[in-house]
Amino acid sequence: MLKALLVDDEPYILQGLQVLIDWENEGFEVDTATDGKMAYEMICEQDYDLVIADIKMPVMNGIELLKKIRADANDVFFVILSGFAEFEYAQEALKLKCSAYILKPVEKDNLLSLVKKVVEGKQDKESEKIRNKRFEKAYFDQCLKRVLRGKNSDEDIDYLCGKLHEYEDMCYVGIELAPEIDEMVETDEEKNSRMDRLYDIAAEYLDEYRYLLIKDEFGEENSYEIGFLYLSSIGKARDLQDEDFLKEMIKYLKRVSDLPVVMLVGRPVGALEASSTSYTSVNMLHSLQGFREKKDIYFYEDEYQIKDKGISLCKAKLDELISVIELNEKDKIKQKVDEFHEEIKAAGITGKSYSLNINYLLFQLIHIAGEQDSEVDQEEILRNISENVYEHGIRRGSKAHLYRMACEYGEYLCQLRKNVSKGVLAEVENEIKNNYSSNLTLKGLSEKYFVNSAYLGQLFRKKYGCSFKDYLNRHRMDEAALLLRKTDDKIYTIAEKVGFKDVDYFVNKFIEAKGCTPAKYRKQEQ
């Protein structure tokens, strides 16, 4: 409800203004005052959207009241009410930015017109405020993203420091869906819908710190993850240590969203200028979490930071393993994995020391692949390979897991050397054209054409600007539209012909693609 204040020293005038229109129906609560001093005190205590004040009043008149509230930088919609038509009153009121000037007796239509103008002005202000908040948030996000990626200007740092106020240590935190959600059979739209919901839940949890949340694109055109810049003051505000706050947050996100969510906590830094280091460490966690025990939350300090002295790196054995992986010599890969683990065991290397060895191996493999094809996200492909070869009963990061991953990655590097990607996309496109009604999956096609599925998915997105699943559905919708125009088949028959077993799902997808139901589309075209 909006609030109006009616000010007049004559009781019957106040009563008349109160009953002249249905204030509640117009969206207003009404207060009254009998002189300008009383009104001014009320205005100082609470906000009003409309003030209607008589000019001639004891103690403080309407012009004096207007002068005082304008001196306080209060831009309330102020209406001067007077039984005098002298020009000097109106002239002085206008100088003080009076919103309107009306004469007694007040006519109902005139009062209604003023009230509606206040409501419209309030709505315009609210709309402008919302727009400004959106623009400010978008600008904040862009500045923060530039800083996180190390591509910022001094102006970006100055702007963000002004917004962050007091801060101590900080780190970047990534929030993403766990790998068990198979992204290759989920459209970008479906994934983004999940992430929108997760974003809202995270914003609710962070409350006044929600402005630190961003939607961060991980190199893919149509999909994103969530991240935020965690400040140590956030945990302190709730009397929690940093680690405890983040653990409580991931529990809340999982419980409320009912989604398999993973939180990646980057390296702590002491200044905004160094936050790109923290952001990079989250990307490392994202790429290599397949070689860690499955958790809800990964802390960079626990997973990567090696603080012990005398850490052993089995570089010679690892280099031998890398060499046979690069040459795709499967018979030698098992031998070299065994030799590496024997040396690890003999040296008594465990925990963080073992992680250091695995990190060396993985980064070298990424480097080799990047030299052959630098246009795709090699870290993401490594993560997908590691996840795809993982099976229940095999411990993550174990010798068996390492062997399976090494064999798969050797095959992947072999594909890169042969440059098989040049012809395989055309083959996949023909598969879609000829077999779109079948249960086509990116994984199935990658196995048919002997191409790594993660690599094929990235190549597909790079060429067509969308995921394989979206492209397939788009083609199916085009074929369905053709059948609707050219045949009299029932809707459920057409749905089945283009590969949909669920008619309701087909109708929803058709509406998304064509903007109307299949029946309406058929009627319009005919």
The whole-chain average pLDDT of the chain stands at 82
User: Residue 307 has what pLDDT?
Assistant: 44
Neighbours of 257 (CB within 10 A): 16
User: Residue 164 has what pLDDT?
Assistant: 81
Cβ pair 394, 370 in contact under 8 A: no
- Compare 124 and 231 and report the one with higher pLDDT: 231
User: Residue 306 has what pLDDT?
Assistant: 46
pLDDT score of 263 more than 90? yes
How much of the chain, in percent, has pLDDT values that exceed 70? 86
* Class of CATH domain 424-434+456-525: mainly alpha
pTM of the model: 0.54
What is the dotted CATH code of the domain comprising 166-303?
A: 3.30.70.270
Joined together, the tokens standing for residue 66 give 């207007």
One-character DSSP codes across 103-153: ESSPPHHHHHHHHHHHHHHHHHHHHHHHHHHHHHHHHHHHHHHHHHTT---
Mean pLDDT score, 278-287: 80
Query: If pLDDT is split at 50, 70 and 90, which confidence band does 392 have?
Result: very low
User: Residue 88 has what pLDDT?
Assistant: 65
pLDDT score of 467 more than 60? yes
Lowest average pLDDT, out of 280-284, 318-322, 446-450, 505-509, goes to 446-450
pLDDT score of 32 more than 90? yes
What is the dotted CATH code of the domain comprising 2-123?
A: 3.40.50.2300
Q: Which amino acid is at 412?
A: Y
Go through the chain and tell me how many residues it has. Answer: 526
Cβ pair 65, 39 in contact under 8 A: yes
User: Residue 222 has what pLDDT?
Assistant: 47
pLDDT score of 396 more than 70? no
Residues sharing a CB contact under 8 Å with residue 48, sequence separation 6 or more, in sequence order: 3, 4, 5, 31, 42, 76
Q: How far is CA 331 from the centre of its chain?
A: 46
User: Residue 506 has what pLDDT?
Assistant: 87
User: Residue 221 has what pLDDT?
Assistant: 41
- Compare 381 and 157 and report the one with higher pLDDT: 157
Cβ pair 226, 259 in contact under 8 A: no
Mean pLDDT score, 366-378: 72
User: Residue 309 has what pLDDT?
Assistant: 46
pLDDT score of 355 more than 80? no
Kindly tell me the burial class for residue 258, based on how many C-beta atoms sit within 10 Å of its own C-beta (0-12, 13-18, 19 or more): exposed
- Compare 475 and 290 and report the one with higher pLDDT: 475
User: Residue 423 has what pLDDT?
Assistant: 67
pLDDT score of 137 more than 60? yes
Mean pLDDT score, 212-236: 77
Instruction: Give the best-scoring range by mean pLDDT among 160-174, 223-237, 393-407.
Output: 223-237
User: Residue 223 has what pLDDT?
Assistant: 58
pLDDT score of 184 more than 70? no
